[in-house]
Structure 1
Amino acid sequence: MHKLRTIILLLAGIAACYTVLRLADSPQWARRSCFSKGARLFTDNLSEADSLVIERGALRMALQRKGGRWLVTQPLATGADTATVLRFIDCLERAPRLDQLPLHDLRRRGLLHSDFGFTQPSARVVVRGALSRHEIIFGGQTPSGDGVYAVLANAGDMIIVTDLKVIESLPGSIEEWRDKSLLGDCEGKWTALEIRRPNAPFMKLVYENNVWRLIQPIVARASTKRVSELLELFQGARIEGFITPSGTADDSIAKADLMGYGFYELDADNAIQLQFWESGSPAGLRVRLGRTVEGNIGLVYALTPGDNSLVTVTNALAAAVPSGVGDIRSKRVFDGTTTAVRKVSMQYDNETITLLRSEGISGEEWQITAPVALAADGHNTRRFISSVMSLRTEMFIELDEEHYEVEPLCRIELELEGGEVQRAKLLQSPAMPTWYEFSHNGSATALAVSVSNMPPILINRSGVLELADRTVMSVAAQSLQRITVKGEERDELVERKAGTVGDQWVTATGSADVEVLQEWATALSELRATDVVQLGSKAQDLAAYGLDKPWLEVTVDVDSERTVRQTLLVGRKSAESGRYAAVRGHDVIYELAPEIVAMLQRPLTVQ
């Protein structure tokens, strides 16, 4: 009995030792404690990689970095989703080293690489940089299901365990990593656009001087807003699905596929075709749009640039393509914004009126520089320019011989910030008396605008007078030194008493009427007219308004070195019971209000 118990104890001990040895030799034995926390699969920095090769099942894909973009080079040449590629490289660089089985351990345990799934590897990845090359082959999953066996090319036959997420981040097909943007990364500015569609004329547009212009089938300005919206829509367009190719760079197969594109209405006779050019790229990007996808009216078939892939995209792209010149031609008479206008010239017969914008102390200021130098009324000028820049045509009219025989009412020239100049002729429509037509230099069509939408200043030269500032004279009251008044049976002179402060005035005869002088001083500080009657007055004009032999002549002297003597000439009565007036040396005729005339009639002295 004693021997039997001894034998049983020995057998139990042997069994326990055998179990411990088997556990120690198991390939699934975790030895994570052998690694420091945070140990990684790669010790090098992979962010500088410039090429990738990925093999997974039947997929073999090669990628190359070009600048900041990643491109697929095999099995076909196309763009890659750069963000997805960078996420994978980051995942690979951060991949943890969970366990490792050296070759001598494998031999001691009698295990082969085939026991870890390397007979038919699940994936292979090669990462190349300027001075480095890393290759990793993935085998099967660990029994726990959260890891995968891997072998590094520079680590001999050592088997390493890493996170299963690494292999899960690999693509299962080329489409998973392809760039889903229809036009790819376009880094330059758009410079030209061609549009072809069935039953519509061929249209070509070019971008010049910050403006889009049609040069085919007519020469005309295009709607910059409309073209910009179209370009933004296509540049942001995403591929919804890939139909073909299924992963081949064979040109003959691509050409064979083209034979069937008529079925998708992507052949030259049926497709909507757009060709985009950008600065720095002589080769344009051509996109074709075809018919609606079966079972999904929200998608249409499309050929990507280079015709290398048949894809599906949103039908909003086809709907946005102009169906004719009228859909993309600018309906604006003038391009630009009100705030961009810096100079306006309007030529009526032989007279030119010019407005010039400048920046003053208080902000934007407008001046009339021709036919005379005069401050412009800022509010009226800005309102006028806004109405001009807001003009829209209501119909396009082809110019004929009759149009060329009509003398224009006005020639308009706008100069915008940046130096762009726009010119147009304005004439009354020969065929429609209540319409006016604008024609731009070099254009064979006119832009018709009804009279109700026309700024009155353009069609009536006298309307320009509304743009002139109505300030006749502006003299600071405290700077007044002498006032001389001459008229019928009137000759007065008053001056501020030297060495005194305030309203102490002296006269040659009698005494100064302080109350009247204060009223005059207030009025002369900003003497405004009710209307500007004429710009650029001549001798005959002065006589017509009674200014050659004025009813009253008021001369003002001040103590400022910057202001010379000013003489106000007051002429005959106007129809509104006021009087016409002018400042000597200034070729502008004003109309003064009756109350101003009444004030000027009051004598400055009392006897």
Structure 2
Amino acid sequence: MGFRLTGILALVAAFLGLLILLWDGDEDTTRARLEQARRAFRFDPARVDRLFIEAGDLAIECRREGRQWHLVRPIAARADPVAIERLLGALQELPRGDILLPPRRADDAYAPYGLDAPRARISIIEGSTTNRILIGRRTPLGDGVYVRQSEHAGLARLDSSLLDLLPASADVLRDRSLLSGVPAAIERLDIRGPAGYIQLARDDQGGWRMFLPFTARADSAALAALIEKLLACSAVQFIQDAARDLSPYGLDSRSAVIAVINTDSGDGSQMLSFGDPLPGDPALVYARLQGENTIYAVPLEVRQALLVRPDDLRDRHIPGLDPDSIQSVRAEEGEAVLEFQRGSNGLWQIVAPVSLAAETDAIEQLLRSWTDVRIASFETDPPPDAPPFTRTLRILPRDSMAAPVVLRLGAQPADSAAARIAIEGESSIAIATPALLLDFPLEPLHYRSREILSIPADDIAGLRIVSGAQTVQAGRDPANGQWTPDAPWIDGLLAALSPLRAESLLSAEDAARFDAGFDAPFLT
């Protein structure tokens, strides 16, 4: 009996679950139908591949090819996908107004509504399905407009906001952006202007380098800002389509400025030319995109941003000076040498001229001070009486794939606070300030660890203290750790020795300068 009741209850539960599922599914279907019913037009904007708009003398045809919209009429041009999607979305969301009964059967049945000669026609094509919308005159109160779909005999009264969606000209739907791509995808930038030619490209690590008019590292931040300005450049006006003669716009003269960008994506090479200012609006200049015969008006500030000197795009940082990325540094000046390197535990070690534990804080402070060094200017042609380079720095990065940085440094006669730096791989001499890379001392004692003695107190098994003729000895019982004899000063002494740090260090040469020398040890 119990098994039968359990089975009946299980069947009832399953049946109720099925009813709930069907109810929810039916409710979702009903909700979708109601949502569709409230809309004036039924189409899926994502599936539309052609759009026709006719209003008076204006006839616009747009066609989607892949993911890109194009204008076909009245001119062949790129279309703005955002503007078209916004138009289709607004049409789809128009609420359905009052439905009027089909007019009486007569030749002029739609004339009272202005639908015998519609003020506008919209054709929305999805594959083989065409949705034709006819727009008539306004309603008597002016707050609505009569609309009919050509396949239906009835008509509807919709909100007059439908009229605001109709583009006043084809320019409303034209794509105003000129260059495509994102800054991170740009691999090369060429700038041609009245002052000459600048060529820049990314290196294997993604950084920017200048290759013309000379080879040098480029300022990645400055390049990023310039590229962003280029990509954001858009047409303010459409001046002339199918232009054949470029001379009236200053686009074929030596004063023209040309930017060429290359991407690692499918956008390929793109060239944008900037010409003369507009006679009536000097804040705008003429522009033309390679492969198009349309003349645009764009902001003057974009053209001005391209009129840069090569030095303005050079990196003003000394390479390899990021403290966190340095593995080792070797400095040589005459016979003096100093080399320190980072251990696997993150602590620094002096390895030349002697092997010593380094004071990590001193090394870190030195490296952080180097980040303040900036290149103030460059020497393309060093003067014949330039002083020699007296110091060489070799900086090895922590990244094993990165090349070492080699710097040769010398004094700058005109400014004692600056240094001349020859960066290996670059053709120009950098004048950098302050002269920290040239002035820091190579004496290893400046960077030696101040920790003279560090023995854990629990590891000490015995003490022997000599002061003059007096000797004191104490031993620790390994079983219980007690000292014999038990003296209260032992713990204090051990604390002072763990660790024992020096306040300063003197070299043997410095110590020899003291006439009196050092006193005999008081305590050993």
Cα separation, partners in 2 of 1:146 and 1:460, compared to 1, 3 Å: closer
Q: CA deviation at 1:94?
A: 1.8
Contact 1:436 1:448 in 2 (8 A): yes
1:353 counterpart letter in structure 2: E
| 1:111 aligns with one of 83, 97, 108 | 108
- RMSD over aligned CA atoms reads 4.0
Aligned residue for 1:353?
339
Aligned residue for 1:520?
493
Aligned residue for 2:327?
343
Cα separation, partners in 2 of 1:216 and 1:357, compared to 1, 3 Å: farther
Q: CA deviation at 1:220?
A: 0.3
- Partner Cα separation in structure 2 for residue 444 and residue 36 of structure 1: 69
Cα separation, partners in 2 of 1:448 and 1:147, compared to 1, 3 Å: same
- Partner Cα separation in structure 2 for residue 173 and residue 73 of structure 1: 14
- Partner Cα separation in structure 2 for residue 464 and residue 523 of structure 1: 26
Aligned residue for 2:296?
311
1:477 counterpart letter in structure 2: A
Q: CA deviation at 1:62?
A: 0.8
Q: CA deviation at 1:462?
A: 1.8
- Partner Cα separation in structure 2 for residue 418 and residue 119 of structure 1: 79
1:526 counterpart letter in structure 2: P
Q: Percent identity?
A: 20
Q: CA deviation at 1:367?
A: 1.9
Cα separation, partners in 2 of 1:495 and 1:420, compared to 1, 3 Å: same
SS at match of 2:167: coil
5+ residue gaps, structure 2: 1-33
| 1:124 aligns with one of 112, 121, 125 | 121
| 2:351 aligns with one of 366, 370, 379 | 370
Aligned residue for 2:312?
327
Residues 1:221 and 2:217 aligned together: yes
Aligned residue for 2:523?
602
- Partner Cα separation in structure 2 for residue 222 and residue 455 of structure 1: 23
- Partner Cα separation in structure 2 for residue 383 and residue 465 of structure 1: 15
Q: CA deviation at 1:72?
A: 4.0
- Partner Cα separation in structure 2 for residue 163 and residue 518 of structure 1: 93
- Partner Cα separation in structure 2 for residue 216 and residue 77 of structure 1: 38
**Pairwise mapping of residues 421-460 of structure 1 onto structure 2 (< 5 A)?**
421=403, 423-428=405-410, 434=416, 436-449=419-432, 453-455=434-436, 458-460=438-440
Aligned residue for 1:212?
208
Cα separation, partners in 2 of 1:282 and 1:166, compared to 1, 3 Å: closer
Can you list the C-alpha shifts for 1:280-331, whole angstroms capped at 9, x where unaligned? 1363222222333334343333334544432333332233224321121122
2:212 counterpart letter in structure 1: Q
Cα separation, partners in 2 of 1:132 and 1:404, compared to 1, 3 Å: farther
Residues 1:470 and 2:450 aligned together: yes
- Partner Cα separation in structure 2 for residue 308 and residue 335 of structure 1: 48
- Partner Cα separation in structure 2 for residue 322 and residue 486 of structure 1: 80
Cα separation, partners in 2 of 1:486 and 1:602, compared to 1, 3 Å: closer
Q: CA deviation at 1:190?
A: 1.6
| 1:302 aligns with one of 258, 283, 287 | 287
Residues 1:273 and 2:258 aligned together: yes
Cα separation, partners in 2 of 1:142 and 1:268, compared to 1, 3 Å: same
Cα separation, partners in 2 of 1:578 and 1:171, compared to 1, 3 Å: farther
Contact 1:427 1:438 in 2 (8 A): yes
SS at match of 1:498: coil
Aligned residue for 2:366?
384
Aligned residue for 1:60?
60
1:53 counterpart letter in structure 2: F
2:213 counterpart letter in structure 1: P
Residues 1:290 and 2:275 aligned together: yes
What is the TM-score normalised by the length of structure 2? 0.78
Aligned residue for 1:583?
none
Aligned residue for 1:49?
48
Q: CA deviation at 1:228?
A: 1.4
| 1:397 aligns with one of 374, 379, 382 | 379
SS at match of 1:427: strand
SS at match of 1:499: coil
- Partner Cα separation in structure 1 for residue 382 and residue 389 of structure 2: 14
- Partner Cα separation in structure 1 for residue 296 and residue 398 of structure 2: 44
SS at match of 2:168: coil
Residues 1:150 and 2:132 aligned together: no
- Partner Cα separation in structure 1 for residue 158 and residue 512 of structure 2: 100
- Partner Cα separation in structure 2 for residue 418 and residue 180 of structure 1: 46
What is the TM-score normalised by the length of structure 1? 0.68
**Pairwise mapping of residues 410-429 of structure 1 onto structure 2 (< 5 A)?**
410-415=392-397, 419-421=401-403, 423-428=405-410
Q: CA deviation at 1:179?
A: 3.2
Aligned residue pairs: how many? 485
